[in-house]
Amino acid sequence: MGKFEIKEAFYLNEEPFKIISGAIHYFRVVPEYWRDRLEKLRLMGCNTVETYVAWNMHEPNEGEFHFEAGLDLRKFIQTAQEVGLYVILRPAPYICAEWEFGGLPYWLLHDPNLKLRFDYQPFMEKIHRYFDQLFAQVIDLQVTNNGPIILMQVENEYGGYANDKNYMRKMAQMMIDQGVNVPLVTSDGPWGDMLENGSIPELALPTINCGSKVKEHFKRLRTFHGEKRPLMVMEFWIGWFDAWGDEAHHTTSVAEATNELSDILDEGSVNIYMFHGGTNFGFTSGANYYEKLMPDVTSYDYDALLTEWGDTTPKYEAFKEVIRRHTAIPEFPLTTVIQKKYYGKQTVRQRVSLFETLDAISQKVRSNYPLSMEALNQGRGYIYYRSQIGPARPIDDFRLISAMDRAHIYINNQLKTIQYDLEIGQKESFVLDMAENELGILIENMGRVNYSVKMNHQHKGIKDGVLINGAFQSEWEMYALPMDNLEHINFTKGYHVGQPSFSRFVIDIEETGDTFIDLAGWGKGFVTVNGFNIGRFWEKGPQKRLYIPAPILKIGSNEIIVFESDGQVTDTVTLTDIPDLG
């Protein structure tokens, strides 16, 4: 039986232990590559890996739990131990992580009185049910049972959200009741009231999150501790994430990050965020919202020590030299063979307009008023609203009321306008010129906000209604489009220029390798490869190419489907061995 303790320092089995950890999110990496990424972490000299746990992946619909395949958290932790790493587990329920809704399940929004991240009984009951399932997977993997888990975190950056200490204490007790017997920690920014708001020092060791001025922040943490306790940066930010519309991919100074790492290890322990960022596959990327909506791109490269596709970087080598001053660096061969492949330009085989195949991929719902995604039990993707709006006449006041995030407005299947974020709700005027006219509205959920006060208002689609000449329109048909059943697309139907569409490519390959799909000339949408959604693209960048890991491909015939929403398509895509994050 092992033992991990917090005294004036960290102790593992009675010996002082400096945590040198790196963050890898298992849900952002295909499971076939978990061992490769973990081996590279160990080969840099790290002794620990940290991971969040994404509640909304494990319980995508209320009461429906998944811990298989790419969500096999237990296997990830066991693989880490096999590689020689200990584990810091951050089960949340909230993780931020630039992840859809900060890891919270969308279905929490079914409760109109919901109080996220507060001691609100219905919220606590749902967490308790989730913890029953989650901890059954990992509780015997604690170091006290000779497993690799040495620390677990309570909540995440709570001091930047609220100061409900009852909530935090109940969360910690809930974990203890589940059998957690390794030490608990909290993590917060060292600024303002964050440490005071988010810490429960009697139950969990406070740690800090920052990316610079570590010596200054360690002084603050030492004062806050009020006694001799170990110093730790739980998130040492060595890069940053990208949002659609950023001018370029974010990068940071290798020299400055290396100097900060040296300062941390001279005084305490560290978890490097991120060691390997990975990918926001599918519709999993989150968003920030302060003055405007800033949805995150598909890549979570983060300018980390490993690239999104797993290559080591100059920053990796520089960090390795700092770590070498504190511990021995192991040497062993990598066990996963990974190569990049150029498959060249591919030509579209089939194309169909979304409106032609709606009934094949979605079941029509009728309502007297438009329903939000959540009301239709839909978490992610798109939703299409349709209503008959009468004879020819001028429309002087058209508005979407309480709608998010990006809306395409059609009259008789012809695009009238696209409204994005702050444009939604603005008054539009146009003229109807047919004897009978049909209104269509395609709305995309671009990722629920993952941080701060806007999290409380994340209903997607249309929540209140649509004004036609100042009055709410009734009698709607709605199609939920989570885009998880594209095998049902009817490509024998028609394609109409300018409409949202699905384009099908078939690629025959003799050898699989990592590759990158270039969508130059395309507008906005997402891509699936053999049924796996590799993520969103958008011409505004900065990301220009999407990563396709080799395990998604197969020898022989491979199907790629590109959904494009803006009516901007070409007849080709290119699969190249060179990434482009912008």
Which residues on adjacent β-strands are paired with residue 255?
Answer: none
pLDDT at 348: 98
| Position 105 pLDDT exceeds 90 | yes
Residue 174, classed as helix, strand or coil, is: helix
* Mean pLDDT, residues 410-423 taken together: 98
pLDDT at 92 over 90: no
Q: Is the peptide bond before 274 cis (omega within 30 degrees of 0)?
A: yes
Q: What pLDDT, on the 0 to 100 scale, is given for residue 412? A: 98
Q: How do residues 321-347 score in pLDDT, each as one tens digit?
A: 999 999 999 999 999 999 999 999 999
Out of 59, 100, 235, 444, pick the active-site residue.
235
Provide the pLDDT confidence category of residue 19 given band limits of 50, 70 and 90.
very high
What pLDDT score does 456 carry?
87
- Told to judge if 511 belongs to the known catalytic residues of this protein, a careful annotator would answer no
Q: How far apart are CA 480 and CA 307, in angstroms?
A: 35
Task: Encode pLDDT of 548-567 as tens digits.
Answer: 999 999 999 999 999 999 99
Rg (CA), the chain: 25
d(CA 529, CA 186) in angstroms, rounded, equals: 39
Q: Which of 299, 324, 302, 323 is nearest to 313 (CA)?
A: 302
**Residue from 98, 155, 157, 308 carrying the catalytic annotation:** 157
Residue type, 104: L
SS3 state of residue 351: strand
Q: Are the CB atoms for 380 and 283 separated by under 8 Å? A: yes
pLDDT digits (tens, 9 = 90+) for 477-522: 999 999 999 999 999 999 999 999 999 999 999 999 999 999 999 9
* Contact (CB, 8 A) for 4 and 11: yes
Q: With a cut of 90, say whether residue 62 has pLDDT above it.
A: yes
Question: What proportion of the chain, given as a percentage, has pLDDT over 70?
Answer: 100
At residue 125, what are phi and psi to the nearest 5 degrees? -65, -40
Tell me what pLDDT residue 517 has.
99
| pLDDT at residue 294 in the model | 98
* Percent of all residues in the chain with a pLDDT value above 90, rounded to a whole number: 99
> Hey, how many other C-beta atoms are within 10 angstroms of the C-beta on 433?
12
Tell me what pLDDT residue 432 has: 97
| 340-358 pLDDT per residue, tens | 999 999 999 999 999 999 9
Residue in this structure with the two tokens 């901890």, named with its chain if needed:
135
| Distance (Å, whole) CA 187 – CA 176 | 18
DSSP codes joined into one string, 56-105? HHH-SBTTB---SGGG-HHHHHHHHHHHT-EEEEE--S---TTBGGGG--
Give the DSSP per-residue string, 1-61: ---EEESSSEEETTEE---EEEEE-GGGS-GGGHHHHHHHHHHTT--EEEEE--HHHH-SB
Q: Is the pLDDT of residue 209 over 90?
A: yes
pLDDT at 184 over 90: yes
The burial class, CB within 10 Å (0-12 / 13-18 / 19+), for 487 is exposed
Is 208's pLDDT higher than 90? yes
Q: Does residue 171 register a pLDDT over 90?
A: yes
Q: What is the bridge-based pairing of β-strands 476-481 and 382-390?
A: antiparallel
Q: If residue 467 lies in a helix (H) or strand (E), which one and from where to where?
A: strand 461-468
Q: What is the pLDDT of residue 554?
A: 98
d(CA 351, CA 492) in angstroms, rounded, equals 9
* Mean pLDDT calculated for residue range 188-215: 98
235 labelled catalytic: yes
What pLDDT score does 67 carry? 98
> Is residue 227 scored above 90 in pLDDT?
no
Section 466-475 average pLDDT = 98
Strand partners, 153: 185
Q: Mean per-residue pLDDT for 458-468?
A: 97
